[in-house]
Amino acid sequence: MARKMTPKHPRGSWIPLAAVLAAAAALTAPAALAAPITFNTALPVAKGETVMRVQSKYLHAGDDPTPADRRLDVWAFPIVGVYGLTPRLAAFAVLPILNKKLDASLPAGRRSRSVAGIGDLRLFARYTLWQRDRPGRTLRIAPFAGLETPTGRDDAADDSGRLPRPLQPGSGSWDPFAGVVATWQTLGWEFDAAAAYQYNTRADDFRFGEEIRLDASFQYRLWPRTLRTGVPAFVYGVLEGNLVQRAKNVSAGIDDPDSGGTTFYVAPGLQYVTRRMVVEAAIQLPVFQDLNGQALENDFIGTFSVRVNF
């Protein structure tokens, strides 16, 4: 995988942490209502109805180019609530519960730093700007916009002192984001594509790099092969792609050379869909990573989630 080399940090530095940023961002993407597993959709939420989604995500990052042999493990449990304000306008809230652990070899030996707690609450709204419905198929385009609020701690500390900013559960900043998602769904398959941009503001003289995401998802009905009457449960085979580009973090007005970069994930997965519930799993594999400096490369992100219609 390509990697832009920059001067290395001293052995044992705790500054590494684009990888942690990558984890935080990847695990709190605007995952929401229906078909794609790793991002949003343009499918409707009925007026006055609620959909809840509970996810379990695990990220592992290693492959450290430095002798510190850093390893990052992140467990995230984003809880997503969606409410249909009108047939076209839906409100989303995503609250992640995070557990991050970073291991590294220091001159004094192998050290571990970890933190757990709620992350930053993401609030956003999605409006179906255009839709074309036909028997058994629909095509929709829906822009969305929202704000990541600083509900997570950004001053967590351990016996070595305050944790590095990217390892904190929260960013401490109010970060707006916006994007657009398109969905083309038929009875046999579905295709979703989304583009999103997040501008991260400064907090405590630190600013995470802004982020651009391009996502695509294709779902194919594997079962039942032949539709019968009624509302049978579906099993979809899912293949998703996520292109994530992040700018460098800025600390005290200086770019962090070991942060930011581009990652492209491919995510195969499976979905079991009934009237009331969706159970799904996917694994995001980084097939291309072009990270700045000594940022840790992600090895994989595993996702398991359950959605329930109320």
Q: Which of 128, 289, 298, 305 binds other proteins (CB under 8 A)?
A: 128
Q: Which of 61, 72, 94, 273 binds other proteins (CB under 8 A)?
A: 273
- Of 20 and 181, nearer to other proteins (C-beta) is 181
> Taking contact as CB under 8 A, which single stretch among the options 11-19, 105-113, 115-123, 133-141 is the one that binds other proteins?
133-141
Q: Does 36 bind other proteins (CB under 8 A)?
A: no
Q: Which of 13, 56, 114, 138 binds other proteins (CB under 8 A)?
A: 138
- Cα distances (angstroms) measured from residue 141 to each of 39, 50, 88, 213, 239: 15, 21, 11, 17, 20
* Gyration radius from the chain CA atoms: 20
> Taking contact as CB under 8 A, which single stretch among the options 63-71, 104-112, 181-189, 239-247 is the one that binds other proteins?
181-189
What is the spatial distance between Cα 249 and Cα 256, in angstroms, rounded to a whole number?
5
Q: Which two tokens stand for residue 118?
A: 């709620």
- Of 35 and 181, nearer to other proteins (C-beta) is 35
| CA atoms within 13 A of residue 85's CA, in its CB half-sphere | 10
What is the spatial distance between Cα 274 and Cα 234, in angstroms, rounded to a whole number?
7
Q: Which two tokens stand for residue 36?
A: 């794609």
Q: Which of 24, 26, 37, 45 binds other proteins (CB under 8 A)?
A: 45
Least separation in angstroms between residue 57's CB and other proteins is 21
Q: Which of 21, 34, 95, 102 binds other proteins (CB under 8 A)?
A: 34
- Of 44 and 96, nearer to other proteins (C-beta) is 44
Q: Does 44 bind other proteins (CB under 8 A)?
A: yes
Q: Which of 175, 190, 240, 297 binds other proteins (CB under 8 A)?
A: 190
One-letter identity of residue 186 = T
Q: Does 280 bind other proteins (CB under 8 A)?
A: no
Q: Which of 15, 17, 20, 35 binds other proteins (CB under 8 A)?
A: 35
Q: Does 136 bind other proteins (CB under 8 A)?
A: yes
What is the spatial distance between Cα 26 and Cα 96, in angstroms, rounded to a whole number?
11
- Of 67 and 87, nearer to other proteins (C-beta) is 87
What is the spatial distance between Cα 6 and Cα 132, in angstroms, rounded to a whole number?
50
Q: Which residues of 160-175 are buried (b: 16+ CB within 10 A; e: fewer)?
A: eeebbbbbbbbbbbeb
Taking the CB of residue 56, how many other CB atoms lie within 10 A of it? 15
Q: Which of 4, 232, 287, 288 binds other proteins (CB under 8 A)?
A: 232
- Of 84 and 150, nearer to other proteins (C-beta) is 84
Kindly give, in sequence order, each residue whose CB lies less than 8 Å from that of residue 86, ignoring residues fewer than 6 positions away. Answer: 47
Strand partners, 141: 130, 182
- Of 221 and 248, nearer to other proteins (C-beta) is 221
The helix (run of H) or strand (run of E) holding residue 26 is helix 18-27
What is the spatial distance between Cα 203 and Cα 176, in angstroms, rounded to a whole number?
14
- Of 6 and 50, nearer to other proteins (C-beta) is 50
Binding site for other proteins (CB under 8 A): 34-35, 43-49, 84, 87-88, 128, 131, 133-138, 185-187, 190, 227-234, 273-276, 278, 307, 309
